[in-house]
Amino acid sequence: MSKKKSTGKDSIFKPLMRYAGPHVWLLVMALVLSVISVAATLYAPILMGDGIDLIIEEGNVDFEGLVPILIKLAIVVAITGVSQWLMSLCTNKVTYNTVRDIRNDAFKNLQKLPLKYIDSHPHGDIMSRLVTDVEQISDGLLMGFAQLFTGIVTIFGTLFFMLSINVRITLIVVVITPVSLFVARFIAKNTFRLFQKQSEARGDMTSLVEEMVGNQKVVKAFAYENESEAKFDVLNKNLQQVGVKATFFSSLTNPCTRFINGLVYTSVGIIGAFAAIGGGFSVGQLSCFLTYANQYTKPFNEISGVITELQSAFASAKRVFEIIDEPAEIPDSPDAVTLEKVDGTLKAENVCFSYNPDVPLIENFNISVKSGQRIAIVGPTGCGKTTVINLLMRFYDVTKGEIIVSSVPIKQCTRDSLRSMYGMVLQETWLKTGTIRDNIAYGKPDASIDEITSAAKAAHCHGFIKRLPNGYDTVISEDGGTLSQGQKQLLCIARVMLALPPMLILDEATSSIDTRTEILIQQTFHEMMKGRTSFIIAHRLSTIKEADCILVMNAGHIIEQGTHKELMDKNGFYADLYNSQFSV
């Protein structure tokens, strides 16, 4: 699909129609059915006019002539009903298939976007675009497809029938009615901006709700309820104000167009009545013409309503297409190497990186890691420890320099194969909705229950799993449900122990675990790290005494490196950090 930036309504309309393109045969069917429906609807007034002429005189009603007219009228009504039902099926299918494709492409591109996009946008706003804004597109398209087809066909159909009855009165209708479209267009032009602000305000509110619900324990722990309510009230009031303005201006469309169309109907009635009195045409024909005049003006009202609804849909589509159009992560080069086995060696040569070009972070970072070494990275908060891990995993690409794994620059190998060589246990746990078994086997879906159980025992979580209602088949939500933070972290450790990749990254992996279990986990880690290159980030420096090399970072630079004993003997920055843990 299009990757061209969508800024205005015209540029939004084109990709929308491109998504509807694969379902063009349904659109054609809907158009044909709308022609049949309108033709039947427009034929009905003729039959009714003929029937009125047969009963207009007192005591002179032609019942024999009315019977075939009534039969025809019943058939016409049935055809109208069936064709409208089938047309609704077609337009519904086009709309929901189109919206499905848009949502799929938005979600697929979201998976391909670099982490910097996710990190720099509120998660609630992204969710709002994929859910609420896509639904707004659906509502707009549903009304657009359903009413535009019948509206346009009705306008031309009634015009033809009115011209066949009386040309002079028809011209009056044709001249006055389009004024309503100009009114609708003027109002719609000003409501697009308001609907766009409404979508943005809705995204801000979703973001706040997602943040507050996801961190409800912190909110309650710090008695932040009143402040969060105050923030919500501000956003809610803003949404209310923008929503009221958008709705008010958009609601002007229908009454304004109805007023103009009412003038048309009144003019036709007055002029037609004088024509009938003068013998210009019969009362039945006048009734027929008034019905056509009403049917002719009705689509203008509906189209003006469609235009209003489309303003909201276009404003929402703009936000959704911003995700679809967002440049994806730079793809792997065609000749990228697929890492199937690594020896665990790693080099970083003159690596530079910063999240913000104006704020340098990692500068001239150099390390050389041998196979099987345990590398600990320590330093104060914000020194770049986690950033180094992001660079090793290619969550972010280095600005300058090169990182080499097993003699292969990581920019020359596929991201998937590189990341499969690492096992990560982070301070922040991540679980998915599913069974305990599914969560442990996330990195090795084909693992047997015996392998899963062995990994759980090694991670010391087998005991609490067996106490759960359904053991390994217990279903948990993505937040872990009633599991404690420590239990969730043990499940994440078991996940890595099951996959056992050749390289490990442990970022405060035991931060939420009690001291006794931590000692047992550290012993398990010690066994697991044998023969595997490991990178360990720890704030409790007592846990990394056995590391082969400790990198001490500060302000994005390695300022010291060596074993625990060597660094303590230097009595430098590391020694100060270590001793500060025991000072009162």
- Look at residue 515 and tell me if it is in a domain: no
Rounded average pLDDT over 346-352? 89
* Percent of the chain whose predicted confidence (pLDDT) is above 70: 87
Residue 121 DSSP symbol: S
Q: Residue 75 in contact with residue 129, Cβ under 8 Å?
A: no
pLDDT at 279 over 70: no
Rounded average pLDDT over 160-167? 76
> Which region among 88-92, 141-145, 351-355, 386-390 has the lowest average model confidence (pLDDT)?
141-145
- Look at residue 339 and tell me if it is in a domain: no
The number of beta carbons lying within 10 Å of the beta carbon of residue 78 is: 11
pLDDT at 87 over 80: yes
pLDDT confidence tier of residue 169, bands split at 50, 70 and 90: confident
Per-residue pLDDT at 280: 64
Which residue, among 212, 214, 217, 242, has the nearest Cα to 230 in the 3D structure? 212
Rounded average pLDDT over 432-440? 88
> Which region among 320-329, 555-564, 573-582 has the lowest average model confidence (pLDDT)?
573-582
Q: How far is CA 354 from CA 236, 314, 360, 551, 553, in A?
A: 36, 36, 5, 19, 15
Per-residue pLDDT at 281: 65
Q: Which residues contact 498 (CB under 8 A, 6 or more apart)?
A: 440, 441, 443, 444, 447, 451, 452, 455
- Give φ, ψ of 128 to 5 degrees: -60, -40
- Look at residue 574 and tell me if it is in a domain: no
pLDDT at 140 over 80: no
Q: How far is CA 24 from CA 137, 141, 186, in A?
A: 18, 14, 31
CATH of residue 230 = 1.20.1560.10
Q: Residue 1 in contact with residue 15, Cβ under 8 Å?
A: yes
Per-residue pLDDT at 19: 83
pLDDT confidence tier of residue 453, bands split at 50, 70 and 90: very high
- Look at residue 280 and tell me if it is in a domain: yes
Q: Please give the residue that has the higher pLDDT: either 320 or 44.
A: 320
Average pLDDT across the chain, whole number: 79
Q: Residue 364 in contact with residue 384, Cβ under 8 Å?
A: no
> Which region among 64-73, 237-246, 261-270 has the lowest average model confidence (pLDDT)?
261-270
The helix/strand/coil state of 408 is strand
Q: How far is CA 269 from CA 226, 264, 274, in A?
A: 63, 9, 9
- Look at residue 397 and tell me if it is in a domain: no
- Look at residue 475 and tell me if it is in a domain: no
d(CA 534, CA 500) in angstroms, rounded, equals 12
Residue 549 DSSP symbol: E
Which domain range does residue 33 map to?
9-325
pLDDT confidence tier of residue 7, bands split at 50, 70 and 90: very low
Rounded average pLDDT over 474-485? 79
Q: In sequence order, what DSSP letters do the residues of 138-198 get, joined into one string?
A: HHHHHHHHHHHHHHHHHHHHHHHHHHHH-HHHHHHHHHHTTHHHHHHHHHHHHHHHHHHHH
d(CA 481, CA 488) in angstroms, rounded, equals 10
Whether the CA torsion 427, 581, 574, 369 is positive or negative: it is: negative
- Look at residue 387 and tell me if it is in a domain: no
Rounded average pLDDT over 496-504? 85
The helix/strand/coil state of 286 is helix
Considering 386-390, 406-410, 522-526, the range whose residues carry the highest mean pLDDT is 406-410
pLDDT at 357 over 70: yes
Which residue, among 195, 272, 277, 205, has the nearest Cα to 235 in the 3D structure? 205
pLDDT digits (tens, 9 = 90+) for 34-84: 888 878 877 777 777 777 767 765 556 667 777 887 888 888 888 888 988
- Look at residue 352 and tell me if it is in a domain: no
> Which region among 176-180, 393-397, 427-431, 442-446 has the lowest average model confidence (pLDDT)?
176-180
The amino acid occupying position 23 is H
Per-residue pLDDT at 181: 67
The amino acid occupying position 362 is I
Structurally, the chain folds into a number of domains equal to 1
pLDDT at 502 over 80: yes
Q: Residue 426 in contact with residue 509, Cβ under 8 Å?
A: yes
Q: Please give the residue that has the higher pLDDT: either 346 or 515.
A: 346
